[in-house]
């Protein structure tokens, strides 16, 4: 665990320290697009934050290669090199898009090529655990197609959710944390070395996101751009592919008693192949809704709009920061809920806890519709948005001093207010 934490900290430190110089470089390079109709920020903000995140990835892999225990991952597996190759390619495509805004189909082709590069180097799905059936071996073509599909879907799911300051980095960090705990449990609790690469990928991914978040929280000083969002999406998918397609449920059967029980233990892993990721189910759902919405309107699935989940949170009255925190909450609930279920699926307390937290999440979603009416003595303990706003009193020249005037405040009922003559102004002759 200490070596994983060291790798995480080195990755976060390199990403954090490089983000400042990268921001200056992005400004000089002109990677500051004009404000678009779908954007929520008000000032042009530099992109290319993915440059710092990529070098953080490289630093994390370099440090892990020189550590005593993690060095075995590089000696016994080609997956770290496969990840680095695919990440370099997808990062280069993202940098070009941040600067020149290349066509969506070209980006899609680049994503498929990056996934193919990883498949050629051994990072692919070899078998698929299916509940009630057991372990199903895949042919080479089936494994390749499924791997490419998972990589492309995950990359675009993360890319689509990158619409608010700190949203994509925070949600992927939460997903990586849940995935790290699961992979670490498979690796050290069951002693299955095939889970070691996925554990390393999750630790490095957490470092990349944590190092970038201080620069990207609202109000963001820099955006990660496609160079960052596609990169972290690829790293996350690489971890899911590694632990799903490389960890044999037959090995888990030695600890769980049967192959079907072993497949049941991989619930948080085979579900990611279908959603595509349980731990990022929120952006995955956003991706599906966006494709359906745009196709229904006769638009391209890659045409940007303001119909994403985070845009809807802003429309119903949530502030920027609260919308991000709500998305964090749901991502953590789904990710860590799946993790808890994998540890003890028979516990009713886990189910009740998830149901209770889901109710809390629904209450948070509807929060803007509820405006508490607190007594005046308690207003000083409430946020300013919940305090009564004083109505400006403007004397009407047509109403004599001491008279009565009716005024309307917004859409509220009319109320009477007695006007008191301004003695000070009368005395000064004003």
Mark the binding-site residues for Mg(2+), compressed into ranges: 159, 226
Partners of 153 in the β-ladder: none
Other Cβ atoms closer than 10 A to 380: 8
- CA gap 201, 216 in Å, rounded: 22
- CA gap 33, 101 in Å, rounded: 9
* List of residues 6+ apart from 112 with CB closer than 8 A: 148, 152
Taking each helix axis from N to C end, the angle separating 196-216 and 167-184, rounded to the nearest 10 degrees, works out to 160
DSSP secondary structure letter of residue 405? E
DSSP letter string, 141-155: HHHHHHHHHHHHHHH
* List of residues 6+ apart from 299 with CB closer than 8 A: 305
Structural tokens at position 224: 């990660």
**Residue 168: HSE in the Cβ half-sphere, 13 Å Cα cutoff:** 32
Q: For residues 223 and 216, is the Cβ–Cβ distance under 8 A?
A: yes
Binding-site residues from annotation: 159, 226
3-state helix, strand, coil in the chain (%, to 5): 65, 5, 30
Q: For residues 110 and 87, is the Cβ–Cβ distance under 8 A?
A: no
Structural tokens at position 44: 């042009």
- CA gap 107, 89 in Å, rounded: 11
Q: For residues 219 and 379, is the Cβ–Cβ distance under 8 A?
A: no
Strands 134-137 and 404-407: unpaired
The beta-carbon contacts of 32-35 under 8 Å, at least 24 apart in sequence, are 33/101
Structural tokens at position 150: 């998972």
Structural tokens at position 309: 């989940």
The phi, psi pair for 405, rounded to 5°, reads: -130, 145
């Amino acid at each position: 665990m200490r070596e994983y934490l060291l790798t995480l900290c080195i990755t976060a430190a390199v990403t954090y320290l490089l983000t400042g110089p990268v921001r200056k470089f992005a400004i000089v390079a002109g990677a500051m697009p004009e404000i678009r109709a779908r954007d929520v920020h008000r000032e042009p903000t530099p992109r290319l934050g993915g440059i710092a995140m990529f070098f953080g990835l490289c630093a994390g892999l370099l440090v892990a290669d020189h550590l005593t225990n993690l060095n075995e991952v590089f000696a016994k597996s080609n997956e770290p090199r496969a990840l680095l190759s695919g990440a370099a390619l997808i990062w280069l495509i993202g940098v070009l898009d941040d600067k020149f805004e290349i066509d969506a189909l070209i980006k899609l082709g680049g994503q498929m090529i990056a996934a193919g590069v990883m498949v050629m180097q051994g990072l692919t799905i070899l078998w698929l655990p299916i509940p009630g059936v057991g372990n199903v071996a895949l042919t080479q073509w089936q494994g390749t197609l499924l791997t490419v599909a998972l990589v492309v879907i995950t990359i675009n799911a993360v890319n689509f959710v990158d619409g608010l300051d700190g949203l994509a980095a925070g949600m992927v960090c939460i997903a990586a944390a849940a995935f790290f705990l699961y992979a670490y449990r498979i690796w050290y609790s069951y002693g299955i070395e095939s889970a070691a690469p996925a554990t390393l990928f999750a630790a490095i991914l957490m470092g990349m996101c944590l190092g970038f978040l201080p620069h990207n929280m609202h109000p963001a000083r820099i955006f990660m751009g496609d160079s960052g969002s596609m990169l972290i999406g690829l790293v996350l998918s690489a971890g899911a592919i590694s632990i799903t397609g490389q960890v044999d449920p037959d090995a888990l059967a030695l600890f769980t008693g049967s192959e079907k029980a072993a497949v049941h233990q991989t619930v948080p892993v085979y579900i990611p192949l279908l959603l595509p990721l349980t731990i990022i189910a929120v952006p995955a759902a956003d991706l599906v809704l966006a494709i359906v919405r745009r196709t229904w309107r006769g638009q391209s699935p890659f045409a940007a709009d303001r119909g994403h989940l985070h845009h809807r949170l802003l429309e119903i009255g949530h502030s920027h920061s609260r919308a991000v925190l709500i998305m964090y909450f749901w991502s953590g609930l789904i990710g860590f809920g799946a993790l808890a279920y994998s540890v003890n699926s028979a516990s009713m307390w886990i189910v009740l806890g998830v149901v209770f937290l889901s109710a809390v999440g629904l209450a948070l979603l509807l929060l803007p519709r509820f405006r508490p009416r607190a007594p005046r003595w308690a207003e000083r303990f409430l946020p300013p948005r919940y305090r009564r706003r004083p109505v400006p009193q403007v004397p009407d020249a047509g109403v004599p001093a001491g008279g009565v005037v009716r005024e309307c405040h917004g859409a509220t009922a009319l109320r009477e207010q007695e006007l008191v003559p301004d003695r000070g102004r009368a005395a000064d002759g004003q």
